[in-house]
Each structure stands twice: as C-alpha cells, then as structure tokens.
C-alpha cells in the first residue's frame, strides 16, 4: 500500500510541474506522405487530432486550439488516444482492479521517438492511471517509404495485486466526416474474401470472429473506410486497417450522436478475461494502418510494398511454380504414381513438386480423412522406399520437393490420440466435438508446442531435398478448454493458443529460415498479417475455379500482394464447382497470382498440354512484374458489366502486364474498352498479347507501339466474343 501511495505522490508531483509549465506539446508520427498527430491538453490528456496526408510540423495553431462540442455535463468530446471504461463509448481498455473498480483514467507521462533504421521509427506514448499503478504504452511504428503506421498497446501491472483485463484493443482512430462507407469481407469455405460495401449509420457495426482458428474464412480483420463518398479506386479519402492476429478478433465502428466515428480493433474479448499478475506485462497484436487521399488503389500498393518487405517470408525472392498432388490423386497413390507426376511436372517446366495429404500413418494409415492424422511416420505400404527416395527423384529431375503437414490437428483414430488424450482441446469432461473427423491439439501446452517443433524437425530430416512445406489447418475450435491451463486461467485459452502457435512458428523459422512455407487453412482461413510474416505465400481458397477465383483473388489482393497469393490451374470440370473452363481461361486467371498447378498432369493432353507448357514458360518471363510490381485495378468484377481487368507495373515503369476477363454473356453489341493506369505518359510501350490461341489476337493494336499517354487517356478496346474470354497483354518500354 505504501508503495502505491508513494508512486501516486511522485506521479502527481511531476504532473503538477508539467501542468505549471503550460506546455501544449504536439506529438507527431510520420511517414514520407502521412501524418498522425496527437496533442497534450491542459489537464494532461493525450488527444487524437489527425490522421491523413503529411502536414508541416510548423502548422500548430489548429492542434493547439481546436475546440470540441461539450455535453450537458460540460465534459469535452475531445477523443483520447486510448478511450477507457467509465464513459459512454465502447472502451479500448477496460480493467477490473483487485478492489472491484472497473474504471480507468489515463494521463500523459512522457513520450519518445527512436529511429530503428533508415526507414522505420518507433514512437511510444506513456500513460498512467490517475489512482492506480497501471501503466499503458501506446506504441507506433512508422514505415517511411511504405506509408504504413502500426499501432499496439503494452499494459504493465505495477499494482500489488492481480488486475483483470476485460477488454483491450490494439488501436483506435476517431473521425469526424459527413458520411462513412465501410468496405469489408465475408464468405465461407471455398468462397472466401467476398467484398461488401455499406454506409455506416448511427450505432455500432461490429465485425468479429469467435472461431479461435480459421478466423478469416468467413470474414477478415481488414477493412477500408471511404469518407463522404463510396469507395473509389483512384480518388477520394480512404482509411484502412488490418489486424495482425490469427485468433478471435473484433473490429468496432461506432457512429455517435455527434457524427463522430470511433474505429477500434483488437483481440475479441469473448470468453477472454485475462488475469495479469503484479509486474506482469500484456502486449496486444499490431493494427496496420494506412491512408490515401487518392482512392483505394494506393491503399493496396502501400500494403503490398510493406508486406513484401516486413510481413512476408522471403518477400524479395521469386516464387517457384508448383505442382501440388492433392486434386490429382487425393489419398490414393503409390510410389509409381508419384514419380509419374514428377516426370510430367518436369516435362511441363514446373519447378516444385509438393506431396499433399495421405503420405503418413502405419497402424492407422492415412487413406482417408478419418485416421492417421498426428502420426507423422511415412506410410510404408504406399511409399516403401520412403519420402527421401521421392525427394531425391524429384531433385534428379530438376525439381524441388515439398510436403504437406497439419501439425495442429489429430484424428481420434491415431496413435497420438491414444497416447496423449490430455493434449486434445475439449471443455472439461465434455466430449471433444469432431469437425472433419479431427480434433485440435492444445497449443497452450508447451509439451504440444515441443511436439510440433520436433515433428517438423523429423520431417525435415527425412531428406535435404525437402525445401517446401504446405502447412494446413482444417477446422475451427469449438467446446474450448485446456487440461494444461489451471481452472482460473481457462479464460486465457483463446489468447494463449495463438501465442503458442506463434511460439512454434518462431522456433521453426529460427531453425529453418530458408524453407518455403505455404500458409493453408482449409483454404483462406488464416489470411492475416500475424501469420503471414512466417510464410512465403497463402492459399486463398480451396476453390480453384477461375470464375470464382476472379472474385477471391480480387478481394485477397486488396491487402495482400500477388507474390503471396497461391493461384493454381486445376482440371475442367472443376472439382469444387463442376464448372467447365478453357485451359486459357484457367491459366490467364492463375497467372495474375503466384502460378501453380493442382491436377494430374496426364489429364492434360493434346492442345491443352501444348498450351500449358507454353503458358508456364510465358509466366516465368513475366512473373517478376507480377510478384514485385505495383497493382492497378482497372475494372472491378463487382461493377455492372461482367468484366474485370487489372495490371501490374514494374517499379521503374518499363514493363507492365495487363489481365482482362469476361464472365457474363454480352450479346453481339457490347465490347470491352478500358483505360490503363500507372504508366509513364512520356514513355513509349510495345503492346503484345500473350497466351493466344493459334496466334490470333483479340486486339487490333497487337505488336504496335503506343505512348503511355494514349494507353492511359484513350485506352484500348478488345474484341471479346464469348462469355469466358480472357486476355493477357505485355507492355515493354521502347526507345
């Protein structure tokens, strides 16, 4: 008690000195083109003032004098950097102290900015509760060149007793505009990242997940917010955020009676009261912010640039073209069939062969999804010579070799489940509820974390030629509970599970920094920047049908770059939708991402086989532009018309690749015409159509030279005659 009294006395002694000095301090968080600004009020509250285009540090008048309307109680509406419980708004932070008090009142202590390197700076604003020894750090990292600002909180309990975190978000931004249009994502398995825009009205709009894992399969913790007008590609103010967290999340958009919109995002407090012991520290995940006054296109380019450098493994390295075995053979294969697929892959010019599910289990062989999961020993009946023999065979054929794992899961019919039933997630004495005939392993338990890392080690030790791992996760969590966590810590499960997963990722990446790892979660169930930084690419959806993939990849690439977007050509009719599509259409859609194949190569014969081999060679030539270039969306598939178009441009604007697709019947009177974007108007470009059938071009200007000005101001018109026509153009600078 004496410690708390002394701490409080010293704090208010310093607080009084600062107040007496009359300092109206301004705090700036800046990138090359953006500013986030906070001011210090007379009563030492940190007030959120501004987020938008960069402003001069000499423009202090507004920030020092801006007035906010008051309520009847005369309290100002000036938004604090961390809204807390005790007021009318949804709190970013709600704490219950040991004496039962659940209000919090934070005051400024100090702030500092340090330069982490030539591109990244970190600003920390330190706050303290007025009555309790509770410290909160608000931490911003600004990435100058990428125009990204991240934000998270650190809470330290310097009290003598436990405190309970009832709710703690990562970030908060208040806006005061005329109107607000929220763009967010929805969907489901094989139908991920569908886009929805809606105008916000008074009250609270919440986007959240309570699945524990596979949290992005039906929604995503990423959003764009356009103010005063609906979202536009190349104009208008747009704010955007994306939470780097792979567990339960919540985004709140609260429009109050004064017309202010309060945006906050962070860990979902659902069933997650967190007890923090004395001297304990809790750190939230990061919210990734950016802003554009020139529409949503620049938002995406900011995220893509930042992601390739800071939130993606090997973001500066070309991705290989993969043949994955799953849709080609499923669980039914042997050594001969696998080597046949490797032979065909080499013939096609593919660079990586990946052996998918079904290669493991002996007592309970993995011949279907009902057994063997968790028993990571090579199935001797299917592969008597082992995985090493297959990997060596692929290597001799000039291919790299990869393998599938699902380390978080277990079948009840497995040796692992028999040996360690205490490792399975379940709610006390209740039966574990199966989904896809499998249960989830309890990653709050360090022994389970060790098992996963050791299993990864064992798999990698099979052969030095294993250089790729497809890391899957095929179900969400229900009936949560942990035999490892104590009774009073069961509400920590949702958070501790994801922290345990990240610990596994950290250990694996520390030991295997060069391994390529694909992030797959029953498709796009873990599409977030928290997990992505450990992986080289994401599998956006199990649905490889090109028509659906136009929409899935459009939504995915709003935030995540093409280099991280696995896009595979599969057989026709498609196994998920039973829809037919030409080999050209399938390749033209997949080539706008990280190209691969998901089929039995022997099923491609005749002209299809010839086209596929040629298209793979074409992709090898153009993939640097697609994987490292700037994305410009030209026609949204969500617009009326039944067309979609986009383009990638190299950073030096010397080369571009344009993709266009038709997916509706247009009759005999409509044709596709659109303007290009992002080129240098003063440059000249030769336009050449790629992936043509029998050399027949759809554009009258094929192989002609145009100025950037012509292509951007006048555009091109295409002779599309069928419902599922598609077009790929290459632009190359000429002198």
Tens of pLDDT, residue by residue over 583-636, are 999 999 999 999 999 999 999 999 999 999 999 999 999 999 999 999 999 999
Query: Hey, what are 565's tokens?
Result: 């977007």
Per residue in 279-331, pLDDT (tens digit) is 999 999 999 999 999 999 999 999 999 999 999 999 999 999 999 999 999 99
Q: What is the pLDDT of residue 720?
A: 77
Instruction: Please report which confidence band the pLDDT of residue 75 belongs to, taking 50, 70 and 90 as the band edges.
Output: low
Instruction: Provide long-range contacts, Cβ within 8 A and 24+ apart, for 643-651.
Output: 643/672, 643/674, 644/550, 644/554, 645/672, 645/674, 646/554, 646/592, 647/676, 647/677, 647/678, 648/562, 649/625, 649/678, 649/679, 650/624, 650/625
Provide the angle, in degrees to the nearest 10, between the axes of the packed helices 386-396 and 335-348: 20
Per residue in 559-584, pLDDT (tens digit) is 999 999 999 999 999 999 999 999 99
Are residues 233 and 633 in contact, defined by beta-carbon separation less than 8 angstroms? Answer: yes
Distance CA 12, CA 27 (A): 22
Distance CA 532, CA 410 (A): 23
CA distances, 585 to each of 526, 571, 596, 692, 719 (Å): 28, 12, 14, 11, 16
Are residues 391 and 401 in contact, defined by beta-carbon separation less than 8 angstroms? Answer: yes
Instruction: Please report which confidence band the pLDDT of residue 76 belongs to, taking 50, 70 and 90 as the band edges.
Output: low
**What would the DSSP string read from start to end of 324-379?**
ESHHHHTT---HHHHHHHHHHHHHHT--EEEE-S-SB-SSS--SSTTS-TT--SB-
Per residue in 194-241, pLDDT (tens digit) is 999 999 999 999 999 999 999 999 999 999 999 999 999 999 999 999
Q: Does domain 2-310 have CATH number 3.40.50.300?
A: no
Catalytic residue among 356, 442, 536, 542: 542
Per residue in 170-194, pLDDT (tens digit) is 999 999 999 999 999 999 999 999 9
Provide the angle, in degrees to the nearest 10, between the axes of the packed helices 606-628 and 583-590: 20
Q: Is the pLDDT of residue 14 over 50?
A: no
Q: Is the pLDDT of residue 8 over 80?
A: no
Q: Is the pLDDT of residue 45 over 80?
A: yes
Bridge-based pairing state of the strands 287-292 and 238-243: antiparallel
Distance CA 34, CA 54 (A): 4
The three-state (H, E, C) secondary structure of 391-413, written as one string: HHHHHHCCCEEEEEECCCEECCC
Q: Is the pLDDT of residue 656 over 90?
A: yes
Instruction: Please report which confidence band the pLDDT of residue 78 belongs to, taking 50, 70 and 90 as the band edges.
Output: confident
CA distances, 575 to each of 369, 578, 598 (Å): 17, 6, 10
Break the chain into its structural domains and give their ranges: 2-310, 633-734
| CA R_g for the chain | 27
Query: Hey, what are 326's tokens?
Result: 């799953």
Are residues 107 and 128 in contact, defined by beta-carbon separation less than 8 angstroms? Answer: yes
Distance CA 724, CA 708 (A): 28
Instruction: Please report which confidence band the pLDDT of residue 71 belongs to, taking 50, 70 and 90 as the band edges.
Output: low
Burial of 54 (0-12, 13-18, 19+ CB in 10 A): middle
334 is catalytic: no
Q: Which residue has the tokens 């080999």?
A: 583
Q: What is the pTM of this model?
A: 0.95
CA distances, 393 to each of 75, 329, 335, 465, 708 (Å): 74, 19, 11, 10, 48
Distance CA 426, CA 439 (A): 9
472 is catalytic: yes
Distance CA 220, CA 528 (A): 8
Closest CA to 395 of 359, 353, 357: 353
Catalytic residue among 129, 344, 442, 472: 472
3 state DSSP class of 97 = coil
Q: What is the pLDDT of residue 6?
A: 43
Distance CA 618, CA 624 (A): 12
What is the CATH architecture assignment of 633-734?
Sandwich (2.60)
Q: What is the pLDDT of residue 21?
A: 30
Per residue in 506-563, pLDDT (tens digit) is 999 999 999 999 999 999 999 999 999 999 999 999 999 999 999 999 999 999 999 9
- Any residues with CB less than 8 A from the CB of 487 and at least 6 apart, and which? none
Mean pLDDT to the nearest integer, 464-482: 97
């Amino acid at each position: 008690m004496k410690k708390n009294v002394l701490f409080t006395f010293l704090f208010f002694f310093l607080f009084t000195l600062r107040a007496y000095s009359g300092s109206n301090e301004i705090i700036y968080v800046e990138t090359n083109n953006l500013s986030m600004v906070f001011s210090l009020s007379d009563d030492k509250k940190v007030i959120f003032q501004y987020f938008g285009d960069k402003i001069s540090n000499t423009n202090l008048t507004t920030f020092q004098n801006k007035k906010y309307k008051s309520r009847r109680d005369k309290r100002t509406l000036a938004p604090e950097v961390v809204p807390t419980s005790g007021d009318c708004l949804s709190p970013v932070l709600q704490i219950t102290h040991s004496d039962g008090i659940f209000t919090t009142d934070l005051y400024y202590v100090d702030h500092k900015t340090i330069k982490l390197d030539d591109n990244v700076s970190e600003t920390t604003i330190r706050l303290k509760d007025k009555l309790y020894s509770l410290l909160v750090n608000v931490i911003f990292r600004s990435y100058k060149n990428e125009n990204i600002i991240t934000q998270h909180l650190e809470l330290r309990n310097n009290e003598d007793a436990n405190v309970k975190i009832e709710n703690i978000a990562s970030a908060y931004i208040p806006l005061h505009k005329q109107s607000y249009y929220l763009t967010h994502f929805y969907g489901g398995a094989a139908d991920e990242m569908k886009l929805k825009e809606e105008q916000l009205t008074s009250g609270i709009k919440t986007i959240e997940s309570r699945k524990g894992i596979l949290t992005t399969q039906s929604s995503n913790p990423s959003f764009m917010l356009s103010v005063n007008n609906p979202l536009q590609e190349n104009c208008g103010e747009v704010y955007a955020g994306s939470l780097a967290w792979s567990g339960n999340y919540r985004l709140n958009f609260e429009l109050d009676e004064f017309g202010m919109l309060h945006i906050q995002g962070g860990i979902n407090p659902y069933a997650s009261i967190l007890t923090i012991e004395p001297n304990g520290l809790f750190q939230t995940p990061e919210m990734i912010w950016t802003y554009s006054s020139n529409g949503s296109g620049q938002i995406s380019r900011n995220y893509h640039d930042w992601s390739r450098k800071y939130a993606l493994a090997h973001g500066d390295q070309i991705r290989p073209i993969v043949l994955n075995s799953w849709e080609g053979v499923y669980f039914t294969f042997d050594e001969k069939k696998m080597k046949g697929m490797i032979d065909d892959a080499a013939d096609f010019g593919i660079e990586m062969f990946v052996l998918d599910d079904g290669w493991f289990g002996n007592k309970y062989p993995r011949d279907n999804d009902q057994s063997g999961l968790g028993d990571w020993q090579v199935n001797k009946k299917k592969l008597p010579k082992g995985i090493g023999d297959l990997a060596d065979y692929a290597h001799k054929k000039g291919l790299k070799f990869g393998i599938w794992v699902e380390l978080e899961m277990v079948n009840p019919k497995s040796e692992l489940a028999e040996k360690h039933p205490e490792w399975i997630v379940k709610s006390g004495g209740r039966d574990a509820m199966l989904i896809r005939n499998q249960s989830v392993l309890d990653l709050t338990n360090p022994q389970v974390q060790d098992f996963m890392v050791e299993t990864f080690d064992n798999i990698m030790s099979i052969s030095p030629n294993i250089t790729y791992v497809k890391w899957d996760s095929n179900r969400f969590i229900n009936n949560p509970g942990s035999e490892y966590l104590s009774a009073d810590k069961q509400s920590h499960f949702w958070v501790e599970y994801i922290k345990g997963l990240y610990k596994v990722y950290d250990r694996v990446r520390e030991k295997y920094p060069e391994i390529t790892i694909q992030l797959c979660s029953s498709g796009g169930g873990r599409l977030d920047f928290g997990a992505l930084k450990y992986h080289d690419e994401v599998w956006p959806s199990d649905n490889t049908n090109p028509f659906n993939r136009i929409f899935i990849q459009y939504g995915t690439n709003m935030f995540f770059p093409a280099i991280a977007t696995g896009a595979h050509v599969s057989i026709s009719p498609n196994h998920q939708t039973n829809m037919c599509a030409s080999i050209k259409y399938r390749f033209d859609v997949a080539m706008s991402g990280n190209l691969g194949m998901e089929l039995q190569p022997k099923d491609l014969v005749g002209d299809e086989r010839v086209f596929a081999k040629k298209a793979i060679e074409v992709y090898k030539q153009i993939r640097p532009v697609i994987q490292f270039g700037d994305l410009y969306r030209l026609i949204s598939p969500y617009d009326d018309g039944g067309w979609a178009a986009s383009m990638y441009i190299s950073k030096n604007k010397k080369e571009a690749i344009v993709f266009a697709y038709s997916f509706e019947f247009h009759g005999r009177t409509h044709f596709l015409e659109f303007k290009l974007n992002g080129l240098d108007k003063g440059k000249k470009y030769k336009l050449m159509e790629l992936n043509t059938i029998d050399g027949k071009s759809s554009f009258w200007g094929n192989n002609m030279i145009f100025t950037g000005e012509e292509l951007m101001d006048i555009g091109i018109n295409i002779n599309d005659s069928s419902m599922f026509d598609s077009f790929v153009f290459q632009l190359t600078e000429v002198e």
